[in-house]
Structure 1
Amino acid sequence: MSALRPMLATATDHLPTGPDWVHEVKWDGVRVLVDVRAGAGAARMTSRNGNVVTPAWPDLSEPPLGDRDVLVDGEVIALNERGVPDFRTLQHRMHVRRAADAARLADSIPATLMVFDLLRLDGDDLTGRPLAERRELLAGLGMTGWQVPASYDDGAMLWDATLQQGLEGVVSKRVTSRYRFDTRSRDWLKRAHRHRGTFVVGGWRPQVGTDDRLAAVLVGEVTPDGLAYRGRVGSGITGATARRLQEMLAPLTRTDSPFSDEVPRVDASGTTWVEPVVVVDVDTHGPGYDRLRQPSFQGVRSDLTPEDL
């Protein structure tokens, strides 16, 4: 039998309102279905792609309800140095399969399982019941070790709160929604925060298969120690935007990197370095990280110089 895959949310640019919806924090982690069969004595964890990932999470595999039969949907999270859930913190753990390595990383990078849906309980399939009922049953289980995050009636309030706290965003769910495996549903809507920052271009990379058509720029942040590398930005750079950027950067070519720190080889290879004078705005998925997350080019800031930053 093929592995179950979780129900997914549809992206939206606005949160729904009214009594038909509840709202939850969008966690920046790894989605899992956790299956505990009566008498098995251990949890079986599968990823959103249906892969078994139990060995990576020995600190989460102890069922909080003992041998009670349950199937839950949730997100594995880990906190970064700022105390905020961060997918990149988990990347050190998520592909580990050797028991000794997994146990060592569980000590240095502790994980938490946020359980937000109950799909089976004591042999009863709950997927056909409305979300409100599933959540009520989940809250009444009294889990210890796994956490059941709160849901909220006020989506606008949660949107503002998650923005202030540096969290990923909000998921809104219709209270009457049934759970449908391996489906992207409009009964669940997700909206992630985007943050705009201003950076300096230090190089550009060509489109794959060409040597001379700009496809991405390498950008940095002005710091007291120089221009610190923050990542490569390709999204949003097409057509006329790419041509204008290339014309602007062509006279600024130099032979060495203008960044004060080392640029990863995967980014440096094939890059044309430029004098760091062009300032651009970039939208990113979350502030405060060494590398930009899901960056999107927004435009050149002709009103600013690097000295202004």
Structure 2
Amino acid sequence: MKWARPTASARDRPSIAAGAIPPLLPTLVDRVPQGPDWLHEIKWDGYRIGVYLDKGKVKILTRNLHDWTVKFPTIVTAVAELDASDAIIDGEAFVADEKGLSHFSSLQRALGRGGRRQDIMLAVFDLLKLNGEDLRDRPLVDRREALINLLGEAPPNGIVLSDEISAGSDILAQVCQFGFEGIVSKLRISPYRSGRRQEWVKTKCVLSDEFIVIGYEPGNSYGGLGSILLANVEEGRLVYAGGLGTGFNARTGPEVKRRLDAIQMDKPPIPGLKVKGAVWARPEIVVDVEYRGWTADHQLRHPSFKGIREDRSVDEFL
């Protein structure tokens, strides 16, 4: 990489519990896989978390193993009620609207200053450990059966099971019509292995991904923020992905600018990159972006800001 990585202080480093398990991450594909070997679920629009229960005490870790237990009081209370001495649950923290749909922006508001953290719920879809037994080598269908038995007929308030949905040739179109983000499909016989895998795949109604912010262009809105400049990582190097100027509001726009101003740098993080009037920043902030595809010169088409990924770090892209 061409930039100096920030050195985390002891306070900023993740607090990792003994036995913490990085999540299994689905691979993005263009089409929903068909056939009886696959199990399909709704894709939740929130934060992926691992929930650790040990003798009534609950710890919650993000996908890069930061301890966020204090951010999810409703989930902590609900998991502590489960009838188990210990368990490790894989799931998604989310906030539901009046139609039951999850929205990343709603979750961000709940986690923000003065937000209603009690509204954050847990959608559960895998069980990695239960009562001292490591379940990761068992097939997904067996792990789900154990998870369903653990939840019982009436799961504690704040927990919902990510149900299996019926597959068909038009399943993605139906899911998109209802307003969901997409589908996660999983091989029924697959064991649980951390990292990006082909045994789980995801299809999305609208393309979205995570990008690194490398600066911004000043403007007249949102406290002086015109657009942010984005990059992704290819073969260990930052590659420019274009600018983004939509999706901000009166709260998020000024906040993004404030954070970028705090990490300004004199030169672009990508050597030789020229954007007139740009204010460059160290590549430390990861954002979630919706977009409609890529242009011929490898820049995002019609990108829109969804939010800062507080649970992600640039090191994960390397």
TM-score w.r.t. the length of structure 1 is: 0.60
- The partner residue of 2:116 within 102, 105, 110 is 105
What SS does the corresponding residue of 1:50 show, helix, strand or coil? coil
Hey, what's the Cα distance between the residues in 2 that align with 1:231 and 1:46? 32
The answer to whether residue 306 in structure 2 is matched with residue 297 in structure 1 is: no
What SS does the corresponding residue of 2:163 show, helix, strand or coil? coil
TM-fit CA distance, 1:4: 2.0
Deviation string, structure 1 residues 11-65 (Cα, Å, up to 9, x no partner): 111111001101111100011111111xx32211111000111100111102231
Match of 1:76 in 2: 93
What SS does the corresponding residue of 1:159 show, helix, strand or coil? helix
The answer to whether residue 205 in structure 2 is matched with residue 190 in structure 1 is: no
Please identify runs of 4+ aligned residues in structure 1 that moved more than 6 A: 215-218, 229-235, 269-272
TM-fit CA distance, 1:82: 6.7
8 Å CA contact 1:72, 1:120 repeated in 2:
yes
Hey, what's the Cα distance between the residues in 1 that align with 2:161 and 2:188? 17
8 Å CA contact 2:84, 2:130 repeated in 1:
no
8 Å CA contact 1:217, 1:234 repeated in 2:
no
Match of 2:3 in 1: none
The answer to whether residue 54 in structure 2 is matched with residue 42 in structure 1 is: no
* One-letter amino acid matched to 2:183: V
TM-fit CA distance, 1:91: 1.6
8 Å CA contact 1:22, 1:155 repeated in 2:
no
8 Å CA contact 2:217, 2:226 repeated in 1:
no
Match of 1:198 in 2: none
8 Å CA contact 1:64, 1:144 repeated in 2:
yes
Match of 1:212 in 2: none
TM-fit CA distance, 1:113: 0.4
Unaligned runs of 5+ in 1: 196-206, 209-214, 221-228, 236-241, 243-260, 273-283, 288-294, 300-309
- The partner residue of 1:162 within 157, 175, 190 is 175
8 Å CA contact 2:41, 2:164 repeated in 1:
yes
The answer to whether residue 35 in structure 2 is matched with residue 22 in structure 1 is: no
Hey, what's the Cα distance between the residues in 1 that align with 2:112 and 2:61? 12
8 Å CA contact 1:41, 1:66 repeated in 2:
no
Match of 1:239 in 2: none
- The partner residue of 2:132 within 119, 123, 136 is 123
8 Å CA contact 1:155, 1:172 repeated in 2:
no
Hey, what's the Cα distance between the residues in 1 that align with 2:229 and 2:98? 25
The answer to whether residue 70 in structure 2 is matched with residue 55 in structure 1 is: yes
- The partner residue of 2:257 within 241, 250, 266 is 266
What SS does the corresponding residue of 1:133 show, helix, strand or coil? helix
8 Å CA contact 1:166, 1:286 repeated in 2:
no
Identity %: 31
TM-fit CA distance, 1:132: 1.1
Count of residue pairs the alignment pairs up: 228
* One-letter amino acid matched to 1:266: K
Hey, what's the Cα distance between the residues in 2 that align with 1:116 and 1:177? 14
Unaligned runs of 5+ in 2: 1-17, 208-213, 232-241, 243-249, 262-274, 278-288, 293-298, 304-318
What SS does the corresponding residue of 1:139 show, helix, strand or coil? helix
| Bigger radius of gyration among the two | 1
What SS does the corresponding residue of 2:35 show, helix, strand or coil? coil
Match of 2:265 in 1: none
8 Å CA contact 1:19, 1:153 repeated in 2:
no
TM-fit CA distance, 1:66: 4.2
Deviation string, structure 1 residues 102-152 (Cα, Å, up to 9, x no partner): xx7234xx0110000011111111100000111122122213231112112
TM-fit CA distance, 1:95: 6.9
Match of 2:186 in 1: 173
What SS does the corresponding residue of 1:17 show, helix, strand or coil? coil
8 Å CA contact 2:25, 2:200 repeated in 1:
yes
Hey, what's the Cα distance between the residues in 2 that align with 1:83 and 1:216? 37
Do the aligned partners of residues 123 and 105 (structure 1) sit closer, same or farther apart at CA in structure 2, a change above 3 Å counting?
A: same
Deviation string, structure 1 residues 230-258 (Cα, Å, up to 9, x no partner): 976979xxxxxx9xxxxxxxxxxxxxxxx
What SS does the corresponding residue of 1:151 show, helix, strand or coil? coil
CA RMSD of aligned residues (A): 4.3
8 Å CA contact 2:88, 2:128 repeated in 1:
yes
Match of 1:135 in 2: 144
